[in-house]
């Protein structure tokens, strides 16, 4: 546990000292959301209908922007080799890195999303659902994105590539989240969608670190 915390602490310090990078992702999210009313028109009822989808699509794209960096710098400077050379399970170190990714991108996006929801005239009943889906969905993206980040390590154009391979795989998260948000706006039951999101989170928190660690071991040798 101490080792896990040491990694998380180091990565958080690193993010803090180059805080600009984290802000950039958040700004991208805000700007991307802003583009939608400009592109599809300011009609409040239309925006209300689309608000959940807009916020979620922009959250996905923002997460993609920052994912390829999860292992890149550790790979470049040799830290990744050193991390593999410990008897501490690589899976847990991977989990730590994904957690930091979530804490520095997914979580800030979650925090600011109600503000953007207001600007998009989201139905008041949907706010809590938006936050729940974000809370369950964005960590899943960081976990699945970790696998993608490991896969594109050392490739050309890794930034675009990771979107290309991960976005199709996280379509279910988008579908369930947006479905829950619109259902809550119409006063309908949201529990099945939320349960599915929770299931995806549980499955990926078990499966993804394992797959990521295996990929890292395979690819760096």
Partner 1 sequence: MKNLFFGTNLIVTRGGRCLAKNLEFKIESGGMLLLNGENGSGKSTLLRIMAGLSKPTSGKIYWNNNDVHDNLSEHFERIVYVGHSTAIKSNLTIKENLKYWQKIHLGDKDKRGQLEHSLEIFNLTTSSNSPARFLSSGQSRKLALARLMLKPASLWLLDEPTVGLDAAGLRGLLTLLNNHCERGGIVVMASHDEVRVECPVHILKTDNCRKG
Partner 2 sequence: MHKFANPAQFTKLATRVLPWTSSFAAVCFLFGLYFGIFDSPADYQQGETVRIMYVHVPAAWMSLFTYSLMAAASASFLIWKHSLADIAARSLAPIGAAFTAITLITGALWGQPMWGTWWVWDARLTSVLVLFFLYLGYMALVNAFDDPEKGSKAAAVLALIGFVNVPIIKFSVDWWNTLHQPASLSRLDAPAIDISMLTPLLLMALGFKLLLISILIIKMRTILIEKRIEAKQLLKSG
Residue ranges that bind partner 2, judged by CB under 8 A: 147, 151-152, 154-158, 161, 164-165, 167-169, 171-172, 175-176, 179, 196, 200, 211, 214-215, 218-219
- Return the C-alpha torsion angle 66, 71, 72, 77, nearest 10: 140
Contact of residue 154 among partner 1, partner 2, none (CB under 5-8 Å per partner type): partner 2
Contact indicator for 109, 62 with CB cutoff of 8 Å: yes
Backbone torsions φ then ψ of 212, nearest 5 degrees: -65, -45
Query: At residue 146, what are phi and psi to the nearest 5 degrees?
Result: -60, -40
In the complex with partner 1, the residue whose CB is nearer, 93 or 181, is 93
Binding of residue 81 to partner 1 (CB under 8 A): yes
Question: Does the footprint of partner 1 cover residue 86 (CB under 8 A)?
Answer: yes
Residue 211 partner contact from partner 1, partner 2, none using kind-dependent CB cut-offs of 5 to 8 Å: partner 2
Cα dihedral 132, 106, 84, 149 in deg (nearest 10)? 110
Q: Does 155 bind partner 1 (CB under 8 A)?
A: no
83 binds partner 1 (CB under 8 A): yes
| 144: Cα separation from own chain's centroid | 8
């Amino acid at each position: 546990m101490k080792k896990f915390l040491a990694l998380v602490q180091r990565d958080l310090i690193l993010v803090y000292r180059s805080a600009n990078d984290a802000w950039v992702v958040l700004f991208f999210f805000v700007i991307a959301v802003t583009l939608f009313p400009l592109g599809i028109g300011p009609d409040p009822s239309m925006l209300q209908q689309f608000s959940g989808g807009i916020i979620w699509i922009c959250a996905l794209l923002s997460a993609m922007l920052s994912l390829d960096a999860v292992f890149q710098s550790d790979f470049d400077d040799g830290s990744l080799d050193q991390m593999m050379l410990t008897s501490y399970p690589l899976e847990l170190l991977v989990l730590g890195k994904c957690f930091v990714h979530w804490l520095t991108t997914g979580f800030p996006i979650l925090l600011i999303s109600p503000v953007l929801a207001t600007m998009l005239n989201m139905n008041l009943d949907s706010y809590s659902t938006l936050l729940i889906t974000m809370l369950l969905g964005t960590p899943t993206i960081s976990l699945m994105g970790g696998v993608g980040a490991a896969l594109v390590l050392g490739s050309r154009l890794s930034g675009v590539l990771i979107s290309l391979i991960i976005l199709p795989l996280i379509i279910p998260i988008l579908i369930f989240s947006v479905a829950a948000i619109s259902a809550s706006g119409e006063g309908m039951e949201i529990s099945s969608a939320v349960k599915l999101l929770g299931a995806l989170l549980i499955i990926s928190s078990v499966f993804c670190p394992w797959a990521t660690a295996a990929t890292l071991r395979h690819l760096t040798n």
